[in-house]
Copies of this chain bind each other. A is one copy, B any other.
Amino acid sequence: MEFKQEWLEEVLTARSRAYTPFSHFKVGAYLVTKDGRAFYGCNVENAAYGPTICAERTALVSAIAQGYRPGDFKMIVVATGADKPSSPCGVCRQVMKELCDDDMPVLMTNTAGDVIESTVAELLPNGFSGKDLTND
Protein backbone atom coordinates (compact mmCIF):
# COMPACT_ATOMS: atom_id res chain seq x y z
CA MET A 1 0.00 0.00 0.00
CA GLU A 2 1.56 3.29 -1.09
CA PHE A 3 1.90 5.63 1.87
CA LYS A 4 0.42 9.05 1.17
CA GLN A 5 2.04 12.17 2.60
CA GLU A 6 -1.36 13.50 3.70
CA TRP A 7 -1.78 10.51 6.00
CA LEU A 8 1.36 11.57 7.84
CA GLU A 9 -0.06 15.04 8.37
CA GLU A 10 -3.36 13.61 9.59
CA VAL A 11 -1.81 11.15 12.03
CA LEU A 12 0.56 13.78 13.43
CA THR A 13 -2.42 16.07 14.03
CA ALA A 14 -4.10 13.23 15.90
CA ARG A 15 -0.88 12.64 17.82
CA SER A 16 -0.76 16.27 18.93
CA ARG A 17 -3.91 15.64 20.98
CA ALA A 18 -2.38 12.87 23.07
CA TYR A 19 -2.90 13.23 26.83
CA THR A 20 0.34 11.91 28.30
CA PRO A 21 1.19 13.59 31.61
CA PHE A 22 2.87 10.40 32.86
CA SER A 23 4.92 8.91 30.02
CA HIS A 24 5.21 11.97 27.76
CA PHE A 25 5.17 9.37 24.96
CA LYS A 26 2.67 10.69 22.43
CA VAL A 27 0.96 8.40 19.95
CA GLY A 28 -1.49 9.24 17.19
CA ALA A 29 -3.77 7.07 15.07
CA TYR A 30 -5.60 7.77 11.83
CA LEU A 31 -8.30 5.26 11.00
CA VAL A 32 -9.98 5.20 7.58
CA THR A 33 -13.25 3.41 6.85
CA LYS A 34 -14.07 1.59 3.63
CA ASP A 35 -16.68 4.26 2.83
CA GLY A 36 -14.11 7.03 3.17
CA ARG A 37 -14.55 8.52 6.63
CA ALA A 38 -11.60 9.06 8.94
CA PHE A 39 -11.24 9.00 12.73
CA TYR A 40 -8.48 10.38 14.89
CA GLY A 41 -7.08 8.58 17.89
CA CYS A 42 -4.51 9.47 20.52
CA ASN A 43 -3.35 7.87 23.73
CA VAL A 44 -5.16 8.99 26.89
CA GLU A 45 -3.21 8.15 30.02
CA ASN A 46 -4.33 7.71 33.60
CA ALA A 47 -2.57 8.14 36.94
CA ALA A 48 -3.46 4.51 37.65
CA TYR A 49 -1.75 3.37 34.43
CA GLY A 50 -4.13 0.41 33.86
CA PRO A 51 -7.04 2.51 32.55
CA THR A 52 -4.78 4.11 29.92
CA ILE A 53 -6.25 3.82 26.42
CA CYS A 54 -3.97 3.81 23.37
CA ALA A 55 -4.36 5.78 20.16
CA GLU A 56 -5.47 2.83 18.04
CA ARG A 57 -8.28 1.92 20.43
CA THR A 58 -9.38 5.54 20.80
CA ALA A 59 -9.83 5.78 17.02
CA LEU A 60 -11.65 2.44 16.77
CA VAL A 61 -14.15 3.02 19.57
CA SER A 62 -14.79 6.56 18.30
CA ALA A 63 -15.82 5.01 14.98
CA ILE A 64 -18.00 2.34 16.61
CA ALA A 65 -19.81 5.06 18.57
CA GLN A 66 -20.51 6.77 15.25
CA GLY A 67 -22.16 3.62 13.95
CA TYR A 68 -19.33 1.79 12.20
CA ARG A 69 -19.18 -2.00 12.65
CA PRO A 70 -16.49 -4.71 12.49
CA GLY A 71 -15.42 -5.09 8.88
CA ASP A 72 -16.01 -1.43 7.98
CA PHE A 73 -12.37 -0.40 8.31
CA LYS A 74 -9.88 0.01 5.46
CA MET A 75 -6.62 0.82 7.20
CA ILE A 76 -5.04 2.41 10.25
CA VAL A 77 -1.92 4.56 10.50
CA VAL A 78 -0.11 4.84 13.84
CA ALA A 79 2.57 7.42 14.65
CA THR A 80 5.01 8.02 17.48
CA GLY A 81 8.01 10.28 17.85
CA ALA A 82 10.44 7.37 18.13
CA ASP A 83 13.45 6.92 15.84
CA LYS A 84 11.93 3.70 14.54
CA PRO A 85 8.15 3.46 14.06
CA SER A 86 6.62 1.60 17.01
CA SER A 87 4.27 -1.36 16.80
CA PRO A 88 0.84 -1.43 18.44
CA CYS A 89 0.74 -2.99 21.90
CA GLY A 90 -0.91 -6.35 22.46
CA VAL A 91 -4.13 -4.82 23.79
CA CYS A 92 -4.61 -2.83 20.59
CA ARG A 93 -3.76 -5.88 18.48
CA GLN A 94 -6.48 -7.78 20.32
CA VAL A 95 -9.01 -4.99 19.70
CA MET A 96 -8.04 -4.81 16.02
CA LYS A 97 -8.50 -8.60 15.82
CA GLU A 98 -12.06 -8.12 17.11
CA LEU A 99 -13.05 -5.17 14.96
CA CYS A 100 -10.92 -5.28 11.78
CA ASP A 101 -10.36 -7.66 8.88
CA ASP A 102 -7.37 -9.95 9.32
CA ASP A 103 -5.70 -8.52 6.22
CA MET A 104 -6.34 -4.85 7.08
CA PRO A 105 -3.14 -2.84 6.64
CA VAL A 106 -1.56 -1.38 9.78
CA LEU A 107 0.90 1.35 8.83
CA MET A 108 3.42 2.41 11.48
CA THR A 109 5.18 5.71 11.06
CA ASN A 110 6.99 8.43 13.01
CA THR A 111 7.58 12.16 12.90
CA ALA A 112 10.40 11.55 10.42
CA GLY A 113 7.98 9.84 8.04
CA ASP A 114 9.54 6.38 8.11
CA VAL A 115 6.95 3.69 7.37
CA ILE A 116 6.61 0.02 8.31
CA GLU A 117 3.64 -1.91 6.96
CA SER A 118 1.97 -4.92 8.52
CA THR A 119 -1.51 -6.42 8.88
CA VAL A 120 -3.77 -7.33 11.78
CA ALA A 121 -3.11 -11.05 11.31
CA GLU A 122 0.65 -10.61 11.10
CA LEU A 123 0.65 -8.64 14.35
CA LEU A 124 -1.48 -11.18 16.22
CA PRO A 125 -0.76 -14.58 14.67
CA ASN A 126 -3.17 -17.33 15.68
CA GLY A 127 -5.20 -14.63 17.41
CA PHE A 128 -7.75 -15.26 20.12
CA SER A 129 -11.29 -14.50 18.97
CA GLY A 130 -14.94 -15.17 19.66
CA LYS A 131 -14.55 -18.49 17.83
CA ASP A 132 -12.49 -19.72 20.78
CA LEU A 133 -15.27 -19.01 23.26
CA THR A 134 -16.90 -22.36 23.80
CA ASN A 135 -18.51 -23.28 27.07
CA ASP A 136 -17.46 -26.85 27.66
Which residues of A does B touch, CB under 8 Å? 14, 17, 19, 21-26, 39-42, 44-54, 57-62, 64-67, 69-70, 80-83, 86-95, 97-99, 111, 116, 118, 122-130, 132-136
Contacts and interface: CB of A to CB of B under 8 A. Distances in A.
Contacts of A41: 61, 65
Contact of A50 (B52, B123, B124): B52
Contact of A58 (B14, B64, B97, B135): B64
A49 B49 contact: yes
Most buried by B among A17, A50, A95, A135: A50
B94 A91 contact: yes
Given A22-B23, A111-B136, A129 B42 contact: no
